[in-house]
Structure 1
């Protein structure tokens, strides 16, 4: 019969009775790594740093440090991502004046808020301007408030959206102008364009983008008042 030493018994017992490490649970983490807010914020930062052409789903996945497949689990396509971006920017536009003010006053306030929002996101202007609004709840709610306010102010339903499109075409162009270089109208040869050169000098020292915006907005609203069926705001 073989002998077992006292040194060997505790070792065997300890091995058999030691707690075994739990196997790691597989599957998705309990807290998602991605969310609509995080994805949208990363897309905005990517466009701000490198321009809209740099926004691809692969590039966005790299920014988020995830595999493209993980990104597609949260946003099905780039078109859906653009709707998220549209809603993100338009959420900051204040259209509340249409609930309390005459249509022309509300239109001016909306235009200023609209421009301010897109001055902060000028690289998105060419994209958002042609992105359908369906699937963007905050954007749809904003336009609903504006159109309803115009109709309540006496604009025919058939013309209310024309007013909106005309105004926002000006607003979006003005938002891009706000990012233009200060010397955009400088001409090196005064003799070739003396009137332009003199006018350019007179603009020096002003906030030209804001001044141009206010001049254009006043002209548009005056024109809308003249076209209004009632002949005036309110």
Structure 2
């Protein structure tokens, strides 16, 4: 966990005094400008104008740095909605906040989507809040976790779509795929509007499905499950 208290001895510092926030800001800037593959301790030290050894006085490894970044990003996602809204409304608000956060930080998605959450306290706080909101509504804990995973996967993909170029669906030769070309031509011209419409439509359908599963209580009054029903 980053600390804003710099580790330093007495006397005038020869290099800039670092803080957890400054280090995390620089890491996100490198990822956004150059891609997450370019985010190394050496590149981070150069970005901050310090030596690598000085940086290691603050962050022990790249793994620890990624945990700082993970906490920083997930702290921006609003999970407080589960304290005041019905679970399905809170889930929609949380998904929107998730997408907004990662649409600003798409370069970090490949790392954040698979990074373990151990030792990331703010991230754990977010998940605790979300799953408690779902289980307090009577959803089985395992199903609640599957709902979280499904919404996160959708939000990550939607974050990419939110930053896609305006011409992403232009087919070139319309005669090659005339039906698709006609549909693409009818799509909203403003990229953000088109992305928002698609996101909201998919999110609404997803949450309706979750609600239908949760509401399908069996006659014996067993624990409500949100998982898939039997195959047809």
TM-superposed deviation, 1:27: 4.8
Offset of 1:204 from its aligned partner?
3.7
2:211 paired with 1:225: yes
Q: TM-score scaled to structure 1, two decimals? A: 0.84
Partner of residue 91 from structure 1, selected from 66, 75, 83:
75
**Where does residue 15 of structure 1 map in the other structure?**
none
CA separation of 1:163 and 1:201: change in aligned 2, threshold 3 A: same
Report the CA distance shift for 1:106/1:144 in structure 2 as closer, same or farther (over 3 A): same
User: Match of 1:220, SS?
Assistant: helix
**1:99 CA drift (Å):** 1.0
Flag as ranges the 4+ runs of structure 1 deviating above 4 A: 26-32, 229-232
Residue deviations 1:58-88 (CA, integer Å, cap 9, x gap): 0111111111111111111111111111111
Between structure 1 and structure 2, the one with the greater Rg is 1
User: 1:29/1:36 Cα in 2 relative to 1: closer, same or farther (>3 Å)?
Assistant: farther
Residue by residue, what CA displacement relative to the aligned partner does 1:169-196 show, whole Å, maximum 9, x if unpaired?
A: 0001000111111111111111110111
Q: Is the 8 A contact 1:154 1:230 kept in 2?
A: no
* Residue-by-residue CA offset, 1:205-230 (whole Å, 9 max, x unaligned): 24111111001101100110111155
SS in 2 for 1:91: helix
- Cα shift readout 1:131-152 (whole Å, capped 9, x = no counterpart): 1111111111010000000000
If the length of structure 2 is used for normalisation, what is the TM-score? 0.84
The residue matched to 2:76 in structure 1 has which SS?
coil
Cα pair 2:166 2:189 within 8 Å, conserved: no
Question: Is the contact made by 2:73 and 2:101 (CA closer than 8 Å) also made in structure 1?
Answer: yes
Partner of 2:230: none
Q: C-alpha distance in 1, partners of 2:22/2:161?
A: 29
Give distance in 1, aligned partners of 2:61 and 2:10: 21
Q: Which runs of 5+ in 2 are unaligned?
A: 1-7, 218-223, 225-232
**Residues 1:70 and 1:198: Cα distance change in structure 2 (over 3 Å):** same
Q: Secondary structure of the residue that 1:228 maps to in structure 2? A: helix
Partner residue of 1:60?
A: 44
CA RMSD, aligned part only? 1.9
- Give the match's secondary structure for 2:77: coil
Match of 2:153 in 1: 169
Structure-2 separation of matches of 1:168 and 1:47: 21
Contact 1:155 1:229 in 2 (8 A): no
Shift in Å at residue 89 of structure 1?
A: 0.9
